[in-house]
A = this chain, B = another copy of it.
Amino acid sequence: MTTIRDVARLAGVSISTVSLALNSPKRVGAETLDRIQQAIKSTGYRIDPVAQTLARGRSSLIGFVSANLGNMFFGDIRREIEHQALDHGYFVLIADSSGRADLERALLERLEAQKIAGIALAANGRGEEYATFLRDFKTPIVMFDQKLEGAERDFVGSDNPLTTTILTEHLLQLGHRRIGFISGPSGLHTADERLKGFMNTMAGAGVDIDPSLVVEGGYTRTGGHAQAMRLLTRRDRPTAIIGANNMTGLAALQVMQEMGFRCPDDVSLAMVDDVPWSNVITPRITMVVQDAQKLGELAAQRLLARIASPEAAAAPPQDFILTPRFVRGESTRRL
């Protein structure tokens, strides 16, 4: 491995001059710069990012932390962030917390130890203590999807109450009144907001909510499956079900199929977020989808900006709220 000293020797200059030539070429004499570049070419010198990180106290790595990379929503965001990061010379270090707050915290600390340049985080931790932890983090963080009050960080997400408001309105217009709602983990930002969207819309329409039709599916496939089972085995089962995310929504569809219910003939279904290949799923599911790509794009831009300049880093945190899109399928029918 050739080092900066080899280059310096070959070019007949000091190592500090080579370093200068590498980082601010204008500050080096034209002829010297030339010799250095020759030397670099001929030795095939490549800067050592590890040494650079140690010296600079900051690496050219960006962290991406979320639960469920397997979920298309996060996958799309990841892809977009990775794409932009690579364009700017950053690598993306990915960590999947599997939704465990303690693990997430450990991961963040590990990333910090790596002197990571910045972190894109879909937080699963909650509570004031955790918010403080995030607020006092020295590394730039951009949060996405999950907002955490008190963390005082940039946030990129969707209008979550609107997602379920749209779906609920839709079902109400079709004449549904007994609507089952499979919620996400209570306490989680998006979960709470989506639930709120549902409740408020129902209340606003003057429709009584049967509390037993509001269940918590934890945003997971298994949780959604169990809760959908509970809803659908009831005698007075709902005429429609809303899945607060794609996992629980599809889990509900699966339960319908397993129990022999026809969707939408027997039970209508709507959910938040898309899944890959949803267009080969029968029936085409009615959903409200977030623009994951745009979301990732914004998060990446914001993060890269904060990393790039101290002024941007000091700027007050800002929220970016995207408006989700309604996609009508054939999984909901008029009562």
Contact = CB atoms under 8 A, between A and B. Distances in A.
B46 A113 contact: yes
A70 interface: yes
Interface stretch (A18-26, A91-99, A190-198): A91-99
- Copies of chain A in the complex: 2
B54 A50 contact: yes
Given A253-B280, A277-B281, A280-B250, A113 B48 contact: yes
Interface string A53-79: 110000101000000011010011011
Contact of A277 (B110, B113, B250): B250
A231 to B, nearest CB: 17
B91 A110 contact: yes
A4 to B, nearest CB: 13
A305 B72 CA distance: 32
Given A50-B114, A113-B48, A70 B79 contact: yes
Interface string A73-90: 001101100100000000
Interface in A241-271: 250, 253-254, 257
Contacts of A310: none
A311 B279 CA distance: 51
Count chain B CB atoms within 10 A of each CB in A48, A51, A110, A276 and give the residue with the most. Answer: A276
Contact of A50 (B53, B72, B92): B53
Contact of A79 (B96, B114, B276): B96
A253 B279 CA distance: 10
Nearest to A114: B49
A282 interface: yes
Given A91-B95, A95-B91, A115-B50, A70 B276 contact: yes
Given A50-B59, A95-B91, A113-B49, A75 B82 contact: no
A275 interface: yes
Contacts of A276: 70, 275-276
Contacts of A59: 50
A152 to B, nearest CB: 23
A54 B114 CA distance: 12
Interface in A102-136: 110, 113-115
Contacts of A95: 82, 91-92
Given A50-B113, A82-B96, A250-B280, 7 more contacts: A50-B54, A50-B115, A69-B79, A70-B72, A91-B93, A93-B94, A276-B276
6 contacts: A50-B50, A75-B75, A91-B114, A275-B277, A277-B277, A280-B281
